[in-house]
């Protein structure tokens, strides 16, 4: 478990974006970091360490960030979430030295940031970490193209090359044709696209995004979130994203750090935060979250039960469907690669006609998804077909199924996995007595008696 609690003392906020993946050197490592605004900040840190509360020390200074420890892995979107005043902006600004750190350590690709000279911090911001701000922070008298090229200009890239790169990024964010406009002539959403293009154009490994979408109206905001995820899939930047919006955090974050009153109270995947909140504060936060956009097929899937290998033959398939009281069965190769589905009626007919190759009655699987697809994408599929949605891995192997009832349970606070509840879906279209009789009579037929030829009525 990756989460931390206030009660458990030191946070265990290390770890890769995906559990089980090998650990690489973190892009950013924060250890015991404090930021106190006030006249005697070091003194306040000492007192905080001695157990005196932030509130008690208020007259001596504002403890904006208290004992923060976490790693951000390369290629990860690490979201810092919390209410206004919880310390998010202060923390992100400590990462690139816009705020100095009162105590503790912050390394970026192994280089200690705390204590760096102003000129070194400037180099760090220029070459390693770009920042996207809530209110865009564009240069008002430069046109859009030159705003995007600005970071490259600071890096000393020649005019020709930087304009070419800037043009490329403007196109990527959907602003081709707007090169010569001034920022003031653009809508908020478009200005933020310029900000994002500028950050990507600078080609830094790390992007810091401070409430980057918070000033945008909801539809544009959603669009920007989706575009960021799309770009990130391709570019694999390391992104630290600040937001006070839980749905945004859950949608974007590989992992999320929840801040409260200067402290990080939990670090975990969206699923951890949603299903295993570290305390009441986090639990209250997640109450209203749109679970369908957070939970994935992999989070809620169940072990597939109605499955037979294609080589097993129709009699086995029929028996399996009868025993599980279902009308359909997934068919896989011996290596569990999903081949399709068979239906009870078809297989019954096949057995009666003496057929032996199950793949002759194979139909395409109606709904197939990957484990990382969010469940909001499964509803339409679940409506279109009575079969559970099949979940496959990278090698097209069947790794789970999501029946409708599981999908519905996942939207509530019920535990998302419903294996305890018998899931009878889809319902059989022929009776088990009919199957049993067919198996028995065709068995006899197979052992030498006259074959029983079915009529339409008996099916
Ligand atoms: N320059 C400063 N001088 C004094 N106190 C500050 C300064 N900057 C931030 N603070 C205080 O530090 C605390 C954390 O502020 P911070 O802006 O980091 O929070 P936040 O979570 O980003 O909130 P918001 O979303 O409102 O920006 C607040 O109590 C704030 O008043």
Task: Enumerate the β-bridge partners of residue 29.
Answer: 71, 107
Q: Is the pLDDT of residue 230 over 50?
A: yes
Report the pLDDT value the prediction gives residue 383, as an integer from 0 to 100.
82
Ligand 1 nearest atom to the CA of residue 82, by list position: 21
The third-level CATH classification (topology) of the domain covering 298-446 is CBS-domain (3.10.580)
Cis peptide before 426 (omega within 30 of 0): yes
> What residues contact residue 160 under an 8 Å CB cut-off, 6+ apart?
none
Please give the residue that has the higher pLDDT: either 254 or 214: 254
Report the pLDDT value the prediction gives residue 392, as an integer from 0 to 100.
95
397: Cβ below 6 Å to ligand 1? no
Taking all residues of the chain, what is their mean pLDDT, rounded to a whole number? 85
Q: Is the pLDDT of residue 451 over 50?
A: no
Pocket test for ligand 1, best of 89, 213, 241 (most atoms within 8 A of CB): 89
Distance CA 347, CA 16 (A): 47
Tally of helices (H runs) and strands (E runs) in the chain: 17, 16
Residues 365-386: b if buried by 16+ CB within 10 A, e if exposed = bbbbbeeebbbeebeebbeeee
Q: What is the ipTM of this complex?
A: 0.97
403: Cβ below 6 Å to ligand 1? no
Distance 243 CA to ligand 1 centre (A): 14
Report the pLDDT value the prediction gives residue 430, as an integer from 0 to 100.
82
Render pLDDT for 334-368 as a digit per residue (tens, 0 to 9). 889 999 999 999 999 999 999 889 999 999 998 99
Average pLDDT on 163-181 reads: 91
The residue ranges of every structural domain in the chain are 74-101+111-293, 298-446
Distance CA 346, CA 281 (A): 54
Mean pLDDT is highest, among 153-157, 280-284, 316-320, for 316-320
Domain 74-101+111-293 has CATH 3.40.50.620: no
Average pLDDT on 43-70 reads: 94
62: Cβ below 6 Å to ligand 1? yes
Q: Which of these ranges, 2-6, 40-44, 307-311, 321-325, has the smallest mean pLDDT?
A: 2-6
State percent of the chain over pLDDT 90. Answer: 51
244: Cβ below 6 Å to ligand 1? yes
Distance 37 CA to ligand 1 centre (A): 9
Distance of CA 158 to the CA centre of its chain: 38
Short-list 265, 281, 260, 262, CA closest to 45 = 262
Distance CA 291, CA 247 (A): 9
pLDDT band at 65 (very low <50, low <70, confident <90, very high): very high
Render pLDDT for 373-424 as a digit per residue (tens, 0 to 9). 989 999 888 888 878 999 999 899 999 999 888 888 888 765 544 444 445 4
Ligand 1 nearest atom to the CA of residue 259, by list position: 21
**Sequence-distant contacts of 223-232: CB under 8 A, at least 24 apart:** 223/189, 224/189, 224/192, 224/193, 224/196, 225/251, 225/252, 227/173, 227/174, 227/196, 228/196, 228/252, 231/172, 231/200, 232/77
């Amino acid at each position: 478990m990756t989460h931390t609690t206030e009660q458990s003392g030191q946070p265990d906020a290390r770890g890769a974006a995906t559990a089980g993946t090998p650990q690489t050197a973190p892009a950013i490592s924060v250890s015991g970091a404090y930021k106190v605004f006030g006249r005697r900040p070091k003194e306040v840190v000492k007192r905080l360490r001695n157990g005196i509360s932030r509130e008690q020390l208020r007259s001596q200074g504002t403890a904006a960030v208290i004992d923060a420890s976490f790693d951000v892995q390369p290629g990860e979107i690490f979201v810092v979430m919390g209410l206004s005043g919880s310390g998010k902006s202060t923390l992100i600004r400590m990462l690139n030295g816009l705020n100095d750190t009162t105590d503790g350590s912050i390394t970026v690709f192994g280089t200690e940031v705390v204590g760096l000279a102003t000129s070194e911090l400037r180099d760090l911001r220029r070459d390693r970490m770009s920042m996207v701000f809530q209110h865009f922070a564009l240069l008002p008298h430069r046109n859009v193209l030159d705003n995007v090229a600005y970071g490259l200009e600071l890096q000393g890239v020649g005019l020709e090359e930087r304009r070419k790169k800037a043009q490329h990024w403007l196109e990527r964010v959907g602003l081709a044709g707007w090169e010569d406009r001034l920022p003031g002539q653009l809508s908020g959403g478009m200005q933020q696209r310029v900000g994002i293009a500028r950050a990507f154009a600078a080609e830094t490994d790390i992007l810091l995004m401070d409430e980057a979408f918070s000033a945008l109206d909801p539809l544009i905001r959603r669009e920007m979130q989706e575009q960021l995820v799309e770009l990130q899939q391709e570019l694999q930047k390391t992104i630290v994203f600040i937001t006070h919006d839980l749905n945004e955090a859950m949608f974007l974050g590989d992992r999320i750090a929840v801040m409260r009153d200067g402290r990080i109270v939990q670090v975990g995947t969206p699923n951890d935060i949603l299903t295993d909140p570290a305390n009441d504060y986090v639990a209250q936060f997640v109450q209203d979250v749109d679970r369908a956009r957070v939970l994935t097929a992999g989070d809620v899937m169940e072990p597939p039960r109605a499955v037979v290998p294609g080589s097993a033959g129709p009699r086995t398939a029929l028996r399996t469907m009868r025993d599980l009281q279902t009308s359909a069965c997934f068919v896989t190769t011996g290596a569990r690669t999903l081949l399709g589905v068979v239906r009870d009626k078809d297989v019954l007919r096949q057995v009666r006609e003496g057929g032996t190759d199950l793949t002759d009655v194979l139909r395409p699987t109606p709904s197939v998804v990957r484990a990382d697809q969010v469940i909001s994408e499964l509803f339409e599929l679940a409506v279109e077909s009575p079969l559970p949605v099949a979940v496959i891995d990278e090698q097209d192997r069947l790794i789970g199924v999501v029946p409708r009832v599981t999908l519905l349970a996942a939207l509530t606070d019920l535990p998302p996995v419903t294996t305890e509840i018998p899931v009878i879906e889809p319902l059989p279209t022929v009776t088990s007595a009919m199957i049993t009789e067919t198996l028995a009579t065709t068995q006899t037929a197979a052992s030498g008696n006259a074959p029983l030829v079915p009529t339409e009525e008996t099916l």
